[in-house]
Amino acid sequence: MALLPPKNRLWWNEPLHRMEIVWITIAFLWGIAMFSTMIWWHIYGEQNLSNESYRILPEVYAERVEAMIEEYQVGEDEFGMPIVRPPVGADVYLQARLWDWSPILELVEGETYRLHISSLDWQHGFSLQPTNINLQVHPGYEMVVTLTPNESGEFGIVCNEFCGIGHHLMTGRINVLDREAAKAAGMQLAAGE
Ligand SMILES: [Cu+2]
């Protein structure tokens, strides 16, 4: 009867039943195996990003985004969102806020960038489609991802962290130029052919 305390109060002095020690051993080894899988998958799964994160004030982050837009803007889309073409290898800044991703970055296939992502106001979720790269984006912290686009085209960004009434409208874009187009546009490329 479980309502009353057991007769023998010092249950930890009781010898373990063989079956019990077998199950404890199995559970322990399984736990170790599952834990090792996380490390193994991080290295060989090619899925988890090795990103860095730093503290930054939203105002300071906004200034860096503004400065980059001012320096490298090449146009704007039909909604007035600036299109920015930073030099290859640069630190590039993407800003999340209620409810847009700013600016539209134009990167070059095969070139490596440090992509900074942060939020000015609230928690958002960076989800790059169709490659399915996902990051949580918080105000006060910037995520830095070292990224080398391996195919050209237009990539969509959606917010995948519910952030209010305009959440479903919170989309953005990264354009990846192919190397020929970038050269034709007069860009200086760094990576070898
Ligand atoms: Cu959002």
Q: How far is the CA of 168 from the centre of ligand 1 (A)?
A: 8
* 67-84 per-position pLDDT tens digit: 999 999 998 888 889 999
Tell me the backbone φ, ψ of residue 19, rounded to 5 degrees.
Answer: -60, -40
Q: Which pLDDT score, from 0 to 100, does residue 192 have? A: 65
Complete DSSP assignment for 20-87: HHHHHHHHHHHHHHHHHHHHHHHHHSS-S---EEEE--HHHHHHHHHHHHHHHEEEE-TT--EEE-PP
Q: Which pLDDT score, from 0 to 100, does residue 1 have? A: 57
User: What is the pTM for the complete model shown?
Assistant: 0.76
Q: How far is the CA of 119 from the centre of ligand 1 (A)?
A: 9
Q: How far is the CA of 38 from the centre of ligand 1 (A)?
A: 28
Q: Is the pLDDT of residue 21 over 80?
A: yes
Q: How far is the CA of 98 from the centre of ligand 1 (A)?
A: 6
Measure the CA–CA gap between 34 and 51, rounded to whole angstroms: 23
- Containing H/E element for 158? strand 153-159
Token pair in block for residue 37? 């899988």
Q: Which pLDDT score, from 0 to 100, does residue 7 have? A: 76
* 73-122 per-position pLDDT tens digit: 998 888 889 999 999 888 999 999 999 999 999 999 999 999 999 999 99
| Mean pLDDT (whole number) for 124-139 | 91
Average pLDDT score over the chain? 90
Q: Is the pLDDT of residue 149 over 80?
A: yes
User: 170: which DSSP letter?
Assistant: -
- Three-state DSSP class for residue 130: coil
Token pair in block for residue 13? 């002095």
- Output the CA torsion 95→96→100→102 (10° steps): 10
Name the percent of the chain lying above pLDDT 70. 97
